[in-house]
Amino acid sequence: MLVAVAAAVAVVDTAAAQEIAGTWVSQEVDAEILGREPQHVRVLSIREAHGGLIGRLIVPTLVGIPVAVEQHGDHVRLVIQMARGMETPLDGTLTADRLSLASPGSTSPPAILRRPSAEELQVLERLAPKKLSIPTMKALPPNGLARTPPMGFSTWNHFQTAIDDRTIRDVADALVKTGMRDAGYVYVNIDDGWQGARDAHGTLHPNEKFPDMKGLADYLHEHGLKLGIYTSPGPQSCAGFEGSYGHEAEDARTFAQWGVDYLKYDWCSAGLIYDDAEMPPVYLKMAEAIRAAGRPMVFSICQYGRADVWKWGADAGGNLWRTTGDIADQWQVMSTIGFAQDELAPFAGPGHWNDPDMLEVGNGRMTTAEYRTHMSLWALLAAPLIAGHDVRSSAPDAVALLTNRDVIAIDQDPLGRPGRRVVQRGPLEVWTRPLAGKRTAVALFNRGAEPAKIEASFVELGIDGRAGALDVWAERSLDVLEGRIAADVEPHGVVLLVLEPVQRR
């Protein structure tokens, strides 16, 4: 499946735009390959718009990627904008009908694009799905769900598409056995890879690995859990399975009949059809279909934080929306994503949450200190807590991190106000989150590679007077604090406190 996305770009002169405008394909591609294996084709389409250039990138990953384009004579720069905060530049040289592209400073051979033939252009046109009608954008009223951030489990981080009915039932049993269900992890979300084919009536069926989706939902419900499922507004999902393109109402009814409680709607191949500016009504279309189907479902918008989704996600029916690209079980990725969320805090609250992606706790590639930071930061952000490890073989320390009741209480605080950064001194950061009962969560983060003492005054924290303090991870009360806080914090670590005002005698 070919995937493309439009992106607004820099202003260039008309003569330069005429040189690069048009369609470019991978050098080694021919019409036969286009018709037989379109998933292996890269296509770049560039045109003039609004005094600048608009680029449309078609790539074999099935994920639409906006690309900014600048041209200065024979020199070209593309900036791949996979997701908010994730940009990759490519420098290029334009020579007649060839476009050579490489990462700055790379020693690898450049990628070569060429102009396609008329026959190849006809094949590309046939492969492109047609744009469907989308509703006029309007603000949907809240659906009353997710008054606190959703908690649960998702298959993607650990299993990806290696999933089946037995695995989901075993995960459900493990959520119960480990105490994670009782701690609040109730959604069991089946990500990409469950989809089969549509029948003659357009009804989507699971593949052979999921012989009875209704029976699976019943099993989860009987164990005090809820079923989540995944699809895309495009023809195909990110992993190449059937999407909901043209079948939104049918799929919503099918999910309702199965007993689905949560739907993740992932942009993926929708980028071949719609521009980023059309995301709001595309998501609204499925939200309306869910409501017409008559079964309440948490609606999770997944489009990687593009198009300022936090400004329209709630209006489009979203209960949560991804604010970033995909997380990974790596300190650099997790910390970059988490600490970039500060400015988005005003857009979240009961029923509508910023989603910096799933938890990596338990997957084993970060240290305990780093996982503790991961949990603390997600709790301060009022982020959904969706576990992404193999719950069936959870290590005790991972379960302890995930089920710490005071950390969960911060995340699930009914006030629903996400935390903000109040102090930043190099790699040392202090964040606060207002909690119900006039309490305040305070996190002292050391993003550096050396131990450090972190201090903050009550003025910086926005706290008056004296305060009792609970050290959350140490699970102990501290002496009454007045005027300031200070703590020694390990590398990549955190000290997480809950402060409560103390009346003067």
Give the model's pLDDT for residue 400: 98
Model confidence over 241-296: pLDDT tens digits? 999 999 999 999 999 999 999 999 999 889 888 888 999 999 999 999 999 999 99
pLDDT above 70 (res 15): no
pLDDT above 90 (res 25): no
pLDDT above 90 (res 69): no
Confidence of residue 187 (pLDDT cuts 50, 70, 90): very high
Give the model's pLDDT for residue 33: 44
pLDDT above 50 (res 315): yes
Whether the CB-CB separation of 223 and 170 falls below 8 Å is answered with: no
Which residues are catalytically annotated? 266, 326
Convert 179-200 to b/e letters by CB count within 10 Å (16 or more is b). ebbebbbbbbbbbbbbbeeeee
Give the model's pLDDT for residue 65: 67
Give the model's pLDDT for residue 27: 63
Confidence of residue 227 (pLDDT cuts 50, 70, 90): very high
CATH number assigned to the domain with residue range 6-127, chosen from the 4 options 1.20.1260, 3.40.50, 2.60.40, 2.40.128: 2.40.128
Only one residue has tokens 């809820």, namely 226
Whether the CB-CB separation of 391 and 153 falls below 8 Å is answered with: yes
Give the model's pLDDT for residue 410: 98
Residues 6+ positions from 146 with CB-CB distance below 8 Å: 298, 319, 320, 350, 351, 352, 353
Strand order in the sheet with 86-95: 6-11, 52-58, 43-49, 22-26, 111-114, 98-102, 86-95, 75-83, 67-72
Model confidence over 107-117: pLDDT tens digits? 888 888 888 88
Q: How many whole angstroms separate alpha carbon 260 and alpha carbon 231?
A: 12
Q: What is the total residue count of the chain?
A: 505
* Average pLDDT, integer, range 318-324: 98
Q: Global pTM?
A: 0.89
Q: Which two tokens stand for residue 15?
A: 């003569």
Whether the CB-CB separation of 410 and 433 falls below 8 Å is answered with: yes
CATH 3.30.70.60 correct for 151-411 = no
Return the H-helix or E-strand segment holding 363.
none
Q: Domain coordinates of the chain in residue numbers?
A: 6-127, 151-411, 420-502
In 3D space, the residue among 132, 136, 130, 82 whose CA is nearest the CA of residue 280 turns out to be: 136
Alpha carbon dihedral 274, 279, 285, 291, in 10-degree steps, equals 150
Confidence of residue 59 (pLDDT cuts 50, 70, 90): low
* Average pLDDT, integer, range 449-459: 97
Higher per-residue pLDDT: 65 or 123 = 123
Q: How many whole angstroms separate alpha carbon 496 and alpha carbon 473?
A: 7
* Average pLDDT, integer, range 222-238: 96
Q: Which two tokens stand for residue 37?
A: 């294996």
Whether the CB-CB separation of 462 and 373 falls below 8 Å is answered with: no
Only one residue has tokens 């439009």, namely 6
Give the model's pLDDT for residue 16: 44
In 3D space, the residue among 407, 266, 431 whose CA is nearest the CA of residue 341 turns out to be: 431
Higher per-residue pLDDT: 40 or 184 = 184
Q: How many whole angstroms separate alpha carbon 7 and alpha carbon 413?
A: 38
pLDDT above 70 (res 123): yes
Q: How many whole angstroms separate alpha carbon 326 and alpha carbon 75?
A: 31
Give the model's pLDDT for residue 70: 83
pLDDT above 50 (res 11): no
Fold of 420-502: Immunoglobulin-like (2.60.40)
* Average pLDDT, integer, range 143-169: 98
Q: Which two tokens stand for residue 11?
A: 């202003």
